[in-house]
Structure 1
C-alpha cells in the first residue's frame, strides 16, 4: 500500500498544474506514514521541498520533518518563511529540536532559536549542556508528572489536560515537592482502577529503574532490551526527575552504535550519513587512513619472511601453505573477537571474566585446531602428496595458530575495554594483521626444529 502511494505521489508531483491536483496530492499524503512520506522528500530537488511541505497536514508536518536527513532539513528550512519555521519548531518535541540544533550550521541554528519560544529555547540550552552520547543528551523533558497525593480521578484529569504535548503518557512519573522521583504508575493501572478516589501512592511502583544524566546512551538503550520498557526516567545527582528516554530514541541509538561498530570492525571510519549521502571524499577519508595503517602493519609479515629466506629456499613447498595458515589464523581470531565483542555489547561478558574467557577459548581452539589439522594432514598426504614431515609441520602450525589466534581474539577486546577504547577497533583487520605475523613466526620455527633447517 505504501509503495503504491509513494509512486502515485511522485507521479503527481511531476505533473502539478492546477489547484485541484494540489488537493489530490494532499489527500494522498494523508494516507502515508511520516517515515514513508519523508522518503519522498529525500528524492526531491530543493526548490520543491517547501511546496510539498506546505501541503502536509499540520499534525503530520513535524513528524515528517524529524524523519528527514539533516541535509534535507537544512534545504527545507532555507525554503521556509520565519512563520512556517516557527510552526515547525513549536510542534517538535524538545529532544528533536535539540537534535536539529546540534546538526545545523551556526546561521541556521540562529534562525531556529530565533523562532522558538523562550521556554523551548531554555530547555534546548539545558539539553545541550549534556554530552551528546549521554542519557541527558538524548532525553526529552516532555513527560507526564504526577503527585503521590493525587487521586486516580485527579490524575486522569491532569493527563487529559496536559498530555497532548507530552512525548508519552503510557507511564506517568510520581515526584515529591522537590521533583525527586519516588514512583511510576502506568496509564493502564489508572484506567483499570476500580476506585477513582484511590491515591496514586497506593497504585504506583516505588521500585523505579532510572538512569542518571551522565549514563552512556548505549547503556541506556541496553536497559530497554533488558526490561522491555517503553521509556526510562532520567534523574540528576540528587534523584530529581529531569527527563525520559523513549523507546524510539533507544532504537536509534542501537542502530547508530551497531553501524559504528560494524564500520570499526571492518577498518572504516564511522559515519552518520547514508552511503549515497557521502561524497567520494568522505568515503576516501573514512577508508584510506585505516588501509595505510594496516599496510604498514603488514610489513612485519614481510620482515619475518625475509628473515627465514634460507629455510624457504631449502624447502620451497613451505611457501605454498603460508596463505592457508594465515587465513586460518585470521579467521579463527576474528570468530573469537566477534563473539567476545558481541557478549560485551549485550552485557554477557565483563572485563573480570577474562580468565574464564581464556579457559573456554583455549579448549574450543584445541578442538577446532585439531579438527583442521587432521583433515589437512589427510589432504596433504593423499592429494598433495607431500612428505609426512612437511605435512606435520603444516598441521602442528595450524593447531598452534588457531590456539594463539583465539586467545589473542579473546584478550584484545577485554584489554580495549579496560583501556577505555572501543572494543570494535580490535576486530577483524587488526586481529588479522597481528595473527599473520605470529603465524609466520610459529610456522618457520616449527619447520626449523622438525626439518632441521
Structure 2
C-alpha cells in the first residue's frame, strides 16, 4: 500500500491517493510520510481529510511537525490544532522551538491557551503534565437518561466517553460510571445509585512512573487526576501512559549501559549530542578504573615472583563482573516492577548468598580442572585461581544485589547501579582477593 501511495503521488493522481490514504491508520500514514521528500510533504499532508490529517499530525515526530507548521498558512495551522486533543497539543508544544510555540499559541482560542498554559506549569514527568481536561463529567442527581443526553451533547470532543466521572458543584470527585453500566441500567435510575465510589486516582504532582504502575496494577483504560483538594482536574488515558512506559524503559536501558538518557530517537540524534550523553560516564568509569591499576602496581613484586598469575587476571575480572551484572539486572528489574522493596533486602541477600555459593562452587571446580588440564599449570596456581573465582563470584553477587536496593532507598535511580558501575567495583575487589589468596598460598 505504501508503494502504491508513492506511485500515485509521483503520477499526481491525488483523488485516488486521497481515497487510498483514507483506508490507512494515522500511524501508518505518518510512517509513510517519513519517506516523502521534504518538498512534497506539505502537498501530501493537505490531501488528507481534516480529522485524519490531525490524527496523523499527532503521530509524526517533532522534526516533521515543525517542517509542516512552517509550511502551514495561519488558517491551516488553526484548523489542525483545533482538531487535536489538548494533551497532544501540549506534547507538541513541549517539543517545538520558542518561535513555533509562539505561532501555535497565537492561533489558539484564549480559553484553550489558558488551559495549555495551566498544564505546562506542572512539573515535567508528573501526572499533571500528562493529563487531558477533555473528559465527560456527570452529577450524582442525574438520571441515566440525563447522562446519555449530556454524553451526546459534549462527548464528541472528549478523548474518551467510556468512563464518565461524577463530581459535585465544587468539582470534587465523587465516583465514576462506565457507559456499559449506563447501557445496562434503566433510564430512570439515578447516577448516585449506580456509580462506583471506590475510585482509583492520581494527584497532579505524582510521578509518571508511579502512574504507569497504577495503570498496570489495576488494568485501567483511564485514570482521573485530582488536585490537593480532591477536585477533578483531568484524566490520563491508556495511550498516553503507553508512551510513558516506553520512555521509562528506554531511560532505564540507557542508564544501565552508562549513557545519560535522551528523549530523541537514535537516528534523530546528532553525533555531538550522542557524544555528550556518553562521555561523562565513560570518563567517570575510566578514572574509577585507576583503582585497578593501583592494585596491580602494589602487587607488582608478587607478579614478578609468580608470573603465571598474570594470565588469569582478565578471566577473573570478567567472571566477577558478569556475576555482579546478573544479580544487579535481576534486582533492578524487580525494583522497577515494585516486586522488591527495601524491607526485602534480608531475603534478597540470603537468596543471593545461596545462589552465589552454588555458582561459585561450580565455576571454581571447572576452573581448577581447566587450569590443571588445559593450561598445564601446577596445583598451587590452579588452587589460587579456583579459590579466587569462588570468592569473587560470592562478593560480586552481594554487591550486585545490595547496591541497587540501597540506591533506591536513598533516592537514586537503581538503573545507575547496573553493569558498568558494578563491574568497576567488582574488578578492584576481585584483584584484591586474587593477590590476597596468592600471598597466602605462595607465602609472598
The TM-score bracket by the shorter chain reads over 0.9
Q: CA RMSD in A?
A: 1.2
How far 1:390 sits from its partner (Å)? 1.4
Residue in structure 2 matched with residue 102 of structure 1 by the alignment: 94
Q: CA deviation at 1:42?
A: 2.1
8 Å Cα contact 1:49/1:79 also seen in 2: no
Aligned to 1:283: 274
Distance 2:342 2:438 in 1: 37
| Aligned 8 A contact 1:179 1:241 in 2 | yes
SS in 2 for 1:46: coil
- Structure 1 residues 27-426: aligned runs within 5 Å: 27-193=19-185, 195-426=186-417
Q: Which moved more, 1:355-364 or 1:163-172?
A: 355-364
Shift of 1:101: 1.3
Structure 1 position 375, deviation (Å): 1.6
- Secondary structure at 1:243's aligned position in 2? strand
TM-score relative to the length of structure 2: 0.98
The answer to whether residue 9 in structure 2 is matched with residue 13 in structure 1 is yes
CA distance in 1, matches of 2:285, 2:7: 49
List gaps (5 residues or longer) in structure 1: none
Check whether the contact 1:218–1:253 (CA below 8 A) recurs between aligned residues: yes
Alignment-derived partner of residue 26 in structure 1: 18
Deviation string 1:165-202 (CA, Å, 9 cap, x unpaired) is: 11111111111111111111111111122x21111111
The SS at the match of 1:150 is: coil
Aligned counterparts of 2:147 and 2:377: Cα–Cα separation in 1: 83
Cα offsets for 1:229-268 (capped at 9, x unmatched): 0001100001100111111111100100111111111111
Question: Displacement of 1:384 after TM fit?
Answer: 2.1
**Matched residues in 2 for 1:56 and 1:252: separation?**
25
Q: Could you tell me the TM-score, scaled by structure 1's length? A: 0.96
Partner Cα distance (1:183, 1:399) in 2:
59
Structure 2 unaligned residues grouped into runs of 5+: none
Q: Secondary structure at the match of 1:321?
A: helix
